[in-house]
């Protein structure tokens, strides 16, 4: 199996596990304790119990986070496939355009909309430094604290279809 297919299957498996795990993220929630702080055990029972823990941690909320909680089990979710085999999943409550929860690797971060003059959809969590910018063609995930891109060319299924159609028209 090629590396891309293997990576994609792994990402889908992790996304499916995370969606089956209960996770509500409200402004007054505290992040889950770090898995590195747990004592390591070599027993098979301990390893099996660790495998059932949700495959992500909750990032600390911003101080000005006052929106409704986002329940990952009930929220609308959109999965974005990014370059280099990365995946970003965005959860949003129906009717709430001011907050999203974004899953990047093993971290679920609640983000607040920031107004822009360009019409781009920009969401930030100032405490964690995560910034999501969505435009009609793609999305990009940034870490403003480190000053670097985390994921680029992130596209949901509708953007992938639109991009494919545009490429076909350009060839003709």
Cβ neighbours, 10 Å, residue 154:
23
Q: What DSSP character marks residue 98?
A: S
Cβ atoms of 153 and 138 within 8 Å: the answer is yes
Give the pLDDT confidence score for residue 21 in this predicted structure.
42
Confidence band of 161 (pLDDT split at 50, 70, 90)? confident
Q: Above 90 in pLDDT, residue 11?
A: no
| Residues above pLDDT 70, as percent of the chain | 54
Q: What is the mean pLDDT of residues 23-49?
A: 46
Residue 149: strand pairing partners: 142
Can you read off the two tokens belonging to residue 103? Answer: 């899953």
pTM, rounded to two decimals: 0.61
Element (H, E) at 165: helix 157-171
Cβ atoms of 122 and 100 within 8 Å: the answer is no
Q: Above 70 in pLDDT, residue 92?
A: yes
Q: What is the mean pLDDT of residues 20-31?
A: 46
Q: Above 50 in pLDDT, residue 52?
A: no
Cβ atoms of 30 and 96 within 8 Å: the answer is no
Give the pLDDT confidence score for residue 166 in this predicted structure.
54
Among all chains, which residue has been given the structure tokens 């093993």?
106
CA 138 to chain centre: 15
Tell me the Cα Rg of the chain. Answer: 17
- State the alpha helices, DSSP H only, in 34-156: 44-51
- CA-closest candidate to residue 81, choices 156, 169, 165: 156
- Listed ranges 1-10, 26-35, 50-59, 154-163; the one with the highest mean pLDDT: 154-163
Domains with residue ranges and CATH for the chain? 3-35+43-171 (2.40.128.200)
Residue 142: strand pairing partners: 131, 149
Q: What is the mean pLDDT of residues 75-85?
A: 93
Of residues 130 and 61, more confidently modeled: 130
């Amino acid at each position: 199996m090629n590396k891309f297919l293997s990576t994609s299957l792994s990402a889908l498996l992790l996304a499916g596990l995370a969606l089956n795990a209960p996770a509500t993220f409200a402004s007054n929630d505290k992040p889950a304790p770090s898995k590195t702080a747990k004592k390591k055990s070599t027993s098979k029972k301990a390893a099996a119990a660790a495998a059932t823990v949700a495959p992500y941690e909750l990032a600390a909320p911003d101080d000005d986070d006052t929106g409704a909680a986002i329940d990952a089990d009930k929220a609308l979710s959109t999965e974005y496939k990014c370059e280099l085999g990365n995946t970003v999943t965005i959860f949003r409550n129906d009717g709430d355009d001011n907050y999203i929860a974004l899953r990047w690797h093993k971290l679920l971060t609640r983000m607040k909309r920031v107004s822009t003059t360009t019409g781009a959809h920009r969401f930030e969590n100032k405490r964690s430094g995560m910034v999501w910018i969505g435009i009609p063609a793609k999305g990009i995930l940034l870490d403003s604290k480190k000053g670097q891109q985390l994921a680029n060319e992130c596209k949901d299924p509708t953007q992938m279809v639109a991009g494919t159609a545009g490429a076909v028209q350009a060839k003709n």
